[in-house]
Structure 1
Amino acid sequence: MKHIGLAVSAFGLSSLISLANAGDMGAEPLNKTGLFLGVGGGYNQIEIKTKTLGVLNAQDGFPPLGLYTGESNYSKTKEAFAPEAKIGYFSHFANSNLLWGLEFLYQYSGVKIKTTRDKLGSGAAIQLADPTQNVTDFLSMNPVKTRVHTEFMLPVFLGYSLANSFLYAGVGPAVFQLKRTVGRINDESSGLFIGNAAGFSNSEWIWGGAARAGIAYYLNPSWFLNLNYSYSFTGNTHLNNRKLFTPAINTGLNSGSIAFNTRQRLNAQTISLSINKVFSL
């Protein structure tokens, strides 16, 4: 799907550039500016990198007791079709082919990235160690899931107007809505048995940044097609969860807590095509 999406996008971009160059040869300008509304969609690729630190505080029960720590890392990429809608404004500078504008873009991703227990060492398990006791334990998390629901972008752009098209590039803030879920936590295979603990889930909005570049081709003075590429990202986000546990069977620890500190960052790339209506102001 990745190669097909890139091939289709490359063909669309080359076609629009050819139309733009053809339209620049003696054609009357079609470029109407003002408020615009657009709908479309495209190929969306999301990469998520996660680092999870686990801390087991063994407080009572079968020894050895104490603090056990460990970490797990994983990185995964997934692609999907992402519909989008946008509203914006653009205008030419006085007596110039240069233009400026801004757009508010909504994109629904719905991408789900999941790491399951059968991929140990890739985000679904943490090996915990207590160096003072020279013992280790092994926690499994089944499964680890991150879902990217929506993304909003607000880029400000500069462009250059041709006879019936324009090129542009811009940057601005972005915000993502994420839901992160860890399934049931268990420790059923080691000698230091802590039993099972319920999973947890968190939803939040995460700020980041975005860059966009593209080309627009006018079908008539009020309608234009827009092909663009965007790259958006977040910084490291932190998520803390703490769970108390009581063993299911009395052969290990009697009480204690498990804490998780998760650091996560996201990168998204999109190639999309939209149709837009311009309204003069």
Structure 2
Amino acid sequence: MKFKSKAVALMGFSFSVCTLAQTSSVSIVPQSAFFVGLGVSENTIGFSNQNTYGRGTSYTPPTQDKLGIPQASITGSAAGSTGVTLGNQNTAAPSLQAGYFQHFSGSNWMWGGKFAYSYLGTTSTVNNMLIPQSGGYYQAGTYTPFNGNYVVRSYQQTINHQMSLMPFIGRSFEKSYVYFGAGPTLAQTKYNINQITGFADMNGLTTSVTGLSTPSSYSASQWVFGAGAVIGATYFIDPTWFLDMSYTYSVTGNQTSNWGGAWADNPAIGGTRTGTNTGTSSGNVTTQALTITLNKAF
């Protein structure tokens, strides 16, 4: 709601610029120009459609119980998935843009495009997350099923770099132009799975099966394409300098990242247990940005 109201306010500002500009036919807006700008954006970032899947394997070598009775090796595995609820985040970020515009011949209407970049560096976290698991283990030729959970001390998704390329159309007035555009985006996102441990309910007891003494952590980073739309208004201080205020909504594609690796654990009794943790994480990141920049036209 916060950004919707700001988007409405920006459209109202654009309408006011258009109305006031009707009083003069002389414009200081260049017929065409390249421009570069620097400023700041206020961003609301949402993490939606989040899901993660995990699969664990384990191998326990032959050992003896407390009475000295030999115990056969144990080989097990389990897997499962869950949705993840990550909270929205708000952040201010530096913003850079560069672009070009040109009027249609003999018209106040114009076309153009701009490239924009922001470093968001924003993370959303959920603590003590459970990934339900179902599987079983073999010991001495006998298969025993079990249920359990991966326990993840903290699950995080981060968005760092965000870029967009927005072709636009607009209309110029005495000291301004308003515009609307849409185009592709590219963002770098990252997943962190911190201190993950697998537990199984076996024989009425909850037992660690993937290394309680040394919980593992994993991360996965990727670049994700998406799409966005922008509405904005400018104000020219003179023919070479202008302010640009815009509202942008963008969403990344729903791309899957792989994470995982080997683990090892040294229990109090018996030899070293080994295994693997593997998994995937996926989801969208949406960004609403209200941006203001000071620009130089060439």
TM range (shorter): 0.7 to 0.9
Supply the distance in 2 between the matched residues of 1:95 and 1:27 (Cα, whole angstroms): 13
Deviates more, 1:12-21 or 1:162-171: 12-21
Q: C-alpha displacement at 1:148, in angstroms?
A: 1.4
C-alpha contact 2:125 2:154 (8 A) present in aligned 1? yes
Tell me if the contact between 1:157 and 1:170 (Cα under 8 Å) persists in the aligned partners.
yes
Q: 2:47 aligns to what?
A: 48
1:160 to 171, 175, 179: 171
Give the corresponding residue for 2:80: 70
Distance 1:85 1:92 in 2: 24
For normalisation by structure 1, the TM-score amounts to 0.85
Q: Is residue 53 of structure 2 the alignment partner of residue 38 of structure 1?
A: no
Is 1:249 the equivalent of 2:262? no
Aligned length: 271
1:127 aligns with 2:132: yes
Deviation digits for residues 226-279 of structure 1, max 9, x if unmatched?
Answer: 221111121121111232222342579933222111122211111112222211
Whether contact under 8 Å (1:213, 1:228) holds in the other structure is yes
| Residues 152 and 196, structure 2, Cα contact 8 Å, conserved in 1 | yes
Per the alignment, residue 25 of structure 1 pairs with 23
Shift of 1:95: 1.2
**How much has 1:55 moved relative to structure 2?**
1.1
* 1:173 matched to 2:170: no
Larger radius of gyration: 2
Partner secondary structure for residue 20 of structure 2: helix
Aligned to 2:288: 269
1:57 Cα deviation (Å)? Answer: 2.3
Give the Å deviation of 1:11: 5.0
The alignment yields a C-alpha RMSD, in angstroms, of: 2.7
Deviation at residue 171 of structure 1 after TM alignment: 1.7
Which consecutive unaligned segments of at least 5 residues does structure 1 have? 118-123
Counterpart residue number, 2:66: none
Q: Does 1:224 align with 2:238?
A: no
Unaligned runs of 5+ in 2: 62-71, 137-142
Q: Secondary structure at the match of 1:18?
A: helix
Distance 1:70 1:188 in 2: 13
Report which stretch shifted further, 136-145 or 62-71. Answer: 62-71
Q: Which moved more, 1:94-103 or 1:213-222?
A: 213-222
The sequence identity of aligned pairs, in percent, is 23
The 1:171–1:10 alpha-carbon spacing in structure 2 relative to 1, beyond 3 Å, is closer
For the 8 Å contact 2:221–2:257, the answer to whether it is kept is no
CA contact (8 A) 1:57 1:66 kept: yes
Secondary structure at the aligned position of 2:284 is classed as strand
What is the TM-score when the length of structure 2 is the normalising length? 0.80
**Residue of structure 2 aligned with 1:193, choices 179, 184, 208:** 208
Structure 1: distance between partners of 2:257 and 2:230: 29
